[in-house]
Structure 1
Amino acid sequence: MRSRQRAFAAVMRLCVKCLRVGRRCRFRLAWRAQQLWRYGHLCLRSLLYNSFTNSDVLLDSLFEPIYWLVDHVTRWFGVVKGMGSHPLPSGIQLCASPRAFCPPSWSWQGGAHWHGWVPSMLCPFLDPSNTVAVSICRKCISPKPARTHHCSICNRCVLKMDHHCPWLNNCVGHYNHRYFFSFCLFMTMGCIYCGISSWDMFREAYAAIERMKMLEKERLQVAANQTYYQTPPPAFSFRQRAFHKSVVYLWVLCSSVAVALGALTLWHAALITRGETSIERHINKKERQRLQKKGRVFRNPYSYGAWDNWKVFLGVEMRRHWLTRVLLPSTHLPHGTGLSWDHPRCVTELRTPLLAI
């Protein structure tokens, strides 16, 4: 009897020890997993941490596939569309020679460069008697006036450059920024009009496609059951199918373009209201943050107020210009030559002139 009790007690002690060992093993595994997770998280943060990361960087990273598509695919659209016609000049190309600045009134040769001899009145910073200074472009080694940037795709400096548009196969700059915004605005309005006016056609076409699918399913069921005494439902012809699918495709395409191009138009409208370009937005943002740390307030030297910025952008100097230059087609030149930025006539608030540095 005692031997049985001793054996039972030994078995129980052995079970308790096994449970304790198993519990320790589980705790040890959980502790090791937690340590590995913390170590991996620390490594990931140390590799990806960047003090300059903000919402703009995250958006640029998310849109990187779209940028790749634009850079590698859509650049050929502008080449194909631009065959046989000269692209709209975005600005004056600044060549290595300081006397190669050319206004838009000079001849266009070869569709690639501006050629001509510019008087000193068009280039105030080339006049020795003028003290206005400019910087030098590092890539094309030429004078670089204010608001001018170098385009790596066109391989030239563009006056008041906003961005390079692969759909147009050209830069959006001083001389075609207004045309670009008008194109975006009218294209958005046209797509919205087409989407609203063809809503009933889209619903009918979509319902017809659904009926086609239902009838096709019923026809397959009839063929599977081999009920030859029933009359099969009438099938749609290929022309009817193509028509309904084309209506649905065109409506979806117009709606998508209206949303995407509308967002781009609103973005450029906000930039025009602030009196800056897409490139200047990033520059002004960094400058604003730098001066804010020093307790100063940044002021955009090319902004004259929301209403005056629109008048300068559209070239409205008189009341009748709202009709002749905005509502009706007009080929008037924008304010300034792009080389120097004088005070506009339409702006009532006077500001001290700035050097083109």
Structure 2
Amino acid sequence: MRWCPGSVLHLLRTVRFQLCCRRGKNRLPLWIREIWAYVRLLVQSLYFSSLTDSDVVFDSIFEPVFVTVDYVTRWFGMVFVCLVVILTSSIVVIAYLVLLPLVLNTYSPAWIAWHICYGHWNLVMIAFHYYKAAKTSPGYPPTERNNRPFVSVCKKCIMPKPARTHHCGICNRCILKMDHHCPWLNNCVGHFNHRYFFSFCLFMTLGCVYCSISGRNLFLDAYNAIETKYQTSAPPYTFKDKMFHKTIIYMWVLTSTVGVALGALTMWHAVLISRGETSIEKHINSKERQRITKCGKVYKNPFNYGRLNNWKVFFGVEKRSHWVTRVLLPSGHAPHGDGLTWDIFPVKKHLIPV
């Protein structure tokens, strides 16, 4: 077989082009090649097996978005915590420097005692429960089995998962009785700090409502004073008067806004606690309830012990005095159970009637 010079030259050019392409691919940064390989894996997973459904397709397509959100939330965790501390501290400073002198000069002794006692009790409860919710570990399943029962295997940790345990993409590990990951705590809300989280939300809401109601008349006076200054030829205010009016308006707007938003969240979690559910279990139980209903049966949440008993288990109330010492006062007692095993349906021997 004879080779013409043109064919040989063409072959050499083709080989050189392929080598250049391969060399160019190898010169790509490692993170680009990793992303490209990950995208190819996601596309291949869409037709991996006959079990693929709309949920699998949705999770696969939006997995890069979820990973990005988890990364940003993890990175901004301390920023959110600092924001909570700064905003709360600003309200406390205003209360001590602006409101307290006004209360001492204008209110009766009975109202002065009420405001001082309630305000300091509310502040202590907020600070205690926020610190405990942020610093207390939510609880993690053991890395070894130890002959403990488990209901599934985590597809990301490749480790056995006890009942009510779910994987947190932000913490990158499984959480016992996981409710959600709270960026304002920079921590997951799980079995061991769920009570602290809810108590913080409850007392923060009560504190915001207290400030909003108590400062309503002051807010109206400050707002009308500023409006009068700009719309009429009234004498100018001093710097102290301006700061007083602006701090009152800032405090009332902030506490009212947070009170409404956080109050709605607190009510939502109160409903879930009454049902013996977490935020994640709410969605799981809804789907399971629909599936069971199609079969002509009634779905029952196995972790629902009854409305009152659910609150007793949640707060760790074992006798009447615990409603005061463990609910209305700061308490660091451990929750009911270890978070690894759970009683299925009401077990009265573990619930002391109060």
Q: What does residue 75 of structure 1 align with?
A: 77
SS of match in other structure, 2:319? coil
Q: What does residue 267 of structure 2 align with?
A: 266
Q: CA deviation at 1:138?
A: 1.1
**2:211 & 2:73 partners in 1: Cα distance?**
29
2:268 aligned with 1:248, yes or no? no
Superposed CA deviations along residues 188-220 of structure 1, whole A, max 9, x for unmatched, are 1111111111111111101100111113xx5xx
Range that drifts further, 72-81 or 145-154: 72-81
Q: What does residue 300 of structure 1 align with?
A: 301
Range that drifts further, 323-332 or 143-152: 323-332
SS of match in other structure, 1:126? coil
- Is the CA contact 2:178–2:188 (under 8 Å) kept in the aligned structure 1? yes
**2:84 & 2:207 partners in 1: Cα distance?**
23
After TM superposition, the score normalised by the length of structure 1 is 0.61
Q: What does residue 157 of structure 1 align with?
A: 174
**1:194 & 1:79 partners in 2: Cα distance?**
22
Instruction: Give me the CA root mean square deviation.
Output: 3.1
Q: CA deviation at 1:74?
A: 5.5
Range that drifts further, 163-172 or 132-141: 132-141
- Is the CA contact 1:201–1:247 (under 8 Å) kept in the aligned structure 2? yes
**1:276 & 1:175 partners in 2: Cα distance?**
15
After TM superposition, the score normalised by the length of structure 2 is 0.61
Q: 1:82 to 1:257 in 2, by over 3 A?
A: closer
Q: What does residue 89 of structure 1 align with?
A: 136
Count of equivalent residues: 239
Q: What does residue 44 of structure 2 align with?
A: none
Q: 1:185 to 1:331 in 2, by over 3 A?
A: same
**Residue type matched to 1:315 in 2?**
G
**1:340 & 1:169 partners in 2: Cα distance?**
27
Q: 1:150 to 1:171 in 2, by over 3 A?
A: same
SS of match in other structure, 1:341? coil
Q: What does residue 146 of structure 1 align with?
A: 163
Residue 213 of structure 1, aligned match among 224, 230, 241: 230
Q: What does residue 319 of structure 1 align with?
A: 320
**1:147 & 1:72 partners in 2: Cα distance?**
23
Superposed CA deviations along residues 97-142 of structure 1, whole A, max 9, x for unmatched, are 41xxxxxxxxxxxxxxxxxxxxxxxxxx623xx7x44321111121
Residue 204 of structure 2, aligned match among 183, 187, 206: 187
- Is the CA contact 1:136–1:142 (under 8 Å) kept in the aligned structure 2? yes
**1:214 & 1:319 partners in 2: Cα distance?**
59
SS of match in other structure, 2:243? helix
Residue 153 of structure 2, aligned match among 119, 136, 139: 136
The gaps in structure 2 that reach 5 residues or longer are 1-53, 56-68, 86-130
2:215 aligned with 1:198, yes or no? yes
Larger radius of gyration: 1
**Residue type matched to 1:153 in 2?**
I
SS of match in other structure, 2:135? coil
Q: Name whichever structure is richer in helix by fraction.
A: 2
**1:285 & 1:332 partners in 2: Cα distance?**
32
**1:139 & 1:73 partners in 2: Cα distance?**
21
Identity score, percent = 57
Q: 1:79 to 1:310 in 2, by over 3 A?
A: closer
- Is the CA contact 2:141–2:162 (under 8 Å) kept in the aligned structure 1? no
The gaps in structure 1 that reach 5 residues or longer are 1-51, 54-66, 99-124, 219-232, 350-357
2:210 aligned with 1:173, yes or no? no
